[in-house]
Structure 1
Amino acid sequence: MVRKNRYQQYSEPLPERGPVESLIYWRDPKKSGPVFGGVLLVLLALTYFSLISVVAYLSLLGLTGTISFRIYKNIVQAVQKTGDGHPFKDLLEFDVSLPQEKVKEVSEVAVAHINAAVVELRRLFLVEDLVDSIKFGVLLWTLTYLGAWFNGMTLIIIAWVALFSLPKVYETNKTQIDANLEIVRTKLAEITSKVKAAIPIGKKAEEKKDQ
């Protein structure tokens, strides 16, 4: 009965947390599509051209577009004898400065994550828990194969596509995915417990913690 209620809770839609989540979950395809396609296009361009070339060409393309639009609006205003003014007046008056409180908040969150990562890496590299360090070693060993198969830019492109696809797939099939993940977590917990019980070092570490 408890399991059923939990799955019913999983079937509820995910709460909205902000514009980023709205983009990732494709709440408005007219916004998510251009963001996903635009960034993907830039990432694909970076696989064939240098960063400087991509930035220069994109900037030149944008500048050409704004200059052309400005000249076009000036011609229209001269022919129609209207006083609409600068076509980008609203954008020029828009405040693009970063709020100090938001920057401070983001910096504090980033520092907290960095500190937590440093502590965790120290724990893994200095083998505080043998089983965790072995699992970390297996992960690093897997990454060596990923590095041999894909370069960094390819992995970034895959991550970007996954960011805009996996969350939506998870939201749509939340109940089934959570049920399968629960089975996998239970199996991993059982295997980890058996490995720790079979390793003398793990037993000593647990005895010290109990004392």
Structure 2
Amino acid sequence: SQCYTRLPCPQTTSVVDLLYWRDVKNTGVVFGASLLLLLSLSVCSIISVLSYVALALLSVTITFRIYKGILQAIQKSDEGHPFKQYLDQEVALPAQLVHKYSDIALGRINATMVELRRLFLVEDLVDSLKFAVFMWILTYVGALFNGLTILILGLIGAFSCPIVYEKHQMDISGLILCLYLLYCFCRIQAKIPGAKKKAE
């Protein structure tokens, strides 16, 4: 939140703007393209999807290139290549940015490997049992949904939950507080000897 209010990091701010629909046009394009891509992957293979996307993009650029060439020939103008300004732009990734995120990814991968080793080799029995229960629950989740379905649901949730919470923040916060108080009350009641019998 501090990053968003002080605006020192444009990458985080742009993601927040997308999720909260600050610019409806940009968010709609990103959300629609992402959802279309995931739905396409659920029907076709990733090779087919990438090939169709590349063919569609090439069809647009080649058609526009030919159209501008014919237009220049008719008007006898010398405007040059229609995509010249984009061809002159540098598209290489900054080395500093690559090193930064590579170090972050490497640190998280190493931490994950250490944690998995600790869980699988049963350094702590309780943690390993919790991990086993989590994996067992995931087997049921995997039987109901595949990975792409979960990604599609996650994408829809990421673009809908923040804006819904922002518009109905007071109601949702009140509901969460009520559920939390009810949970705490049930926990306390379960620990009091004879409370359940008296209630009955």
Does TM-score exceed 0.5, indicating one fold? yes
Equivalent-residue separation in structure 2 for 1:116 and 1:174 (angstroms): 35
Question: Which consecutive residues of structure 1, in runs of 5 or more, have no partner in the other structure?
Answer: 1-9, 195-211
Question: Aligned-pair RMSD on alpha carbons?
Answer: 3.1
**1:106-131 Cα distance to aligned partner (Å, 9 max, x none):** 01111122223233333443445544
Partner AA of 1:72 in structure 2: Y
TM (norm. structure 1) is 0.72
Aligned to 2:95: 100
Equivalent-residue separation in structure 2 for 1:154 and 1:81 (angstroms): 54
Q: Secondary structure at the match of 1:117?
A: helix
Aligned residues: 180
Query: How do 1:30-45 and structure 2 match up within 5 A?
Result: 30-45=25-40
- The worse-fitting range, judged by mean Cα deviation, of 14-23 and 159-168 is 14-23
Equivalent-residue separation in structure 1 for 2:122 and 2:42 (angstroms): 38
Q: Secondary structure at the match of 2:111?
A: helix
Partner AA of 1:23 in structure 2: L
Partner AA of 1:36 in structure 2: F
Question: Which consecutive residues of structure 2, in runs of 5 or more, have no partner in the other structure?
Answer: 191-200
- Structure of higher RCO (CA pairs closer than 8 Å, 6+ residues apart): 1
Asked if 1:111 corresponds to 2:106, the answer is yes
1:74 deviates by 1.4
**1:24-49 Cα distance to aligned partner (Å, 9 max, x none):** 22211111111111121111111111
Equivalent-residue separation in structure 2 for 1:102 and 1:24 (angstroms): 24
Equivalent-residue separation in structure 1 for 2:168 and 2:131 (angstroms): 30
In the superposition, relative to structure 1, how do residues 81 and 38 fare at CA in structure 2: closer, same or farther (>3 Å)?
same
Correspondent of 1:52 among 28, 36, 47: 47
TM (norm. structure 2) is 0.75
Asked if 1:147 corresponds to 2:173, the answer is no
Identity %: 49
Partner AA of 1:101 in structure 2: Q
Partner AA of 2:106 in structure 1: V
Aligned to 1:66: 61
Q: Secondary structure at the match of 1:98?
A: coil
1:178 deviates by 5.0
Query: How do 1:1-211 and structure 2 match up within 5 A?
Result: 15=5, 17-178=12-173, 180=176, 184=180, 187=183
